[in-house]
Amino acid sequence: MHRWLAVLLLPVIVFAEDLPEPISGYDFLGPEMRQIQDDEFLNPGMEAVEAGHELFNWPGDEERACADCHGANGDKLDLKAIAAYPRFETRYNRLMTLQERINACWTDNLDRFSLVYDDEKLLLLETFVRNKAKGEVIQVLNDERARDMYQLGELIYKERFGQMGMTCHQCHVVYQGRYLRGSKLTQGQTNGFPVYRFKSDRLTSLHRRYNECFVQLRSVPYEVGGEEYRALEYYMAIMSNGLKIETPGVRH
């Protein structure tokens, strides 16, 4: 039995309270960390933006580059579309995250071998593209064609995991603003990802952050890029609607 099917068979936790208005993780930071995120010279995540920009213009052996379609600086990118991912792509007849869409362009338009989810190249390109859309308001559609993914994401968000028996909802909605092991719990919004985390001293994708959360709960993580994490990203991106993209965010 697939693990997601097992999730569907578990009792559904029902929460009477409505989800709160979305609050960016930036608003939970202290003044020093805000200054680091705001300053492009201090923000260590900007190195990934610059590396992503170089890769965006790299012709490779195929003598084709992302820039051929989207401009050397990404000026032809549809910024509102970037702020609408994950979204259902009619061409591929499925829900796709932004990283998946970039990979599809990498293979279909540049005629290159497909990259595994969270490959360094994909992460750098995702960071560059998201940074181009910085300031755009997130508007992810709760699409009827992706209803099963939304429902799966909601179930995972509200399921108890690991030895601690905690849910995403408990940490990031019920206990938001409180401290867990010295760290203030935010709403876990997606608008700053990929983010640079000082604790791990690296650029961190959303799915890698999911893995870190599962380990903290002493639970076995799902597969990066797998259906469960993509569904969870979709559900949480809809929760982030109304916030502005801040990539690259910085966190402790």
Domain boundary among 132, 158, 192: 132
Is 171 among the catalytic positions?
no
Joined tokens for residue 118: 């969270």
Residue with tokens 């995540």: 45
Same domain, 111 and 183: no
Per-residue exposure over 133-156, b if at least 16 CB sit within 10 Å of its own CB, e if not: bbebebebeeeeebeebbebbbbb
Same domain, 151 and 247: yes
Same domain, 120 and 99: yes
Indicate which CATH number applies to the domain containing 71. 1.10.760.10
Residue with tokens 């999730």: 7
- pLDDT number for residue 3: 43
Q: Give Cα separations from 205 to 36, 122, 210 (angstroms).
A: 19, 10, 9
> Which domain does 148 fall in, by range?
3-12+21-39+143-251
Give residue 12's pLDDT band: very low, low, confident or very high (50, 70, 90).
very low
- pLDDT number for residue 183: 77
Q: Rounded mean pLDDT of the chain?
A: 92
Domain boundary among 70, 102, 132: 132
- pLDDT number for residue 6: 39
Same domain, 67 and 190: no
**Does residue 138 lie within any of the structural domains?**
no
Q: How many CB atoms lie within 10 A of CB 123?
A: 23
Same domain, 155 and 212: yes
For the cut 80, the answer to whether the pLDDT of residue 16 exceeds it is: no
Q: In this structure, are residues 187 and 172 in contact, taking their beta carbons and an 8 Å threshold?
A: yes
> Number of folded domains in the chain?
2
Same domain, 33 and 59: no
Q: For the residues 85-112, what does the mean pLDDT come to?
A: 98
> Percent of the chain having pLDDT more than 70?
92
The per-residue pLDDT for range 183-208, each reduced to its tens digit, is 789 999 999 999 999 999 999 999 99
Beta strands (DSSP E) in the chain are 87-89, 94-96, 179-180, 183-184, 195-197, 202-204, 249-251
- pLDDT number for residue 18: 55
Same domain, 81 and 154: no
For the cut 70, the answer to whether the pLDDT of residue 243 exceeds it is: yes
Same domain, 35 and 155: yes
Identify which of 241, 226, 199 has the alpha carbon closest to the alpha carbon of residue 44: 199
The per-residue pLDDT for range 114-139, each reduced to its tens digit, is 999 999 999 999 999 999 999 999 99
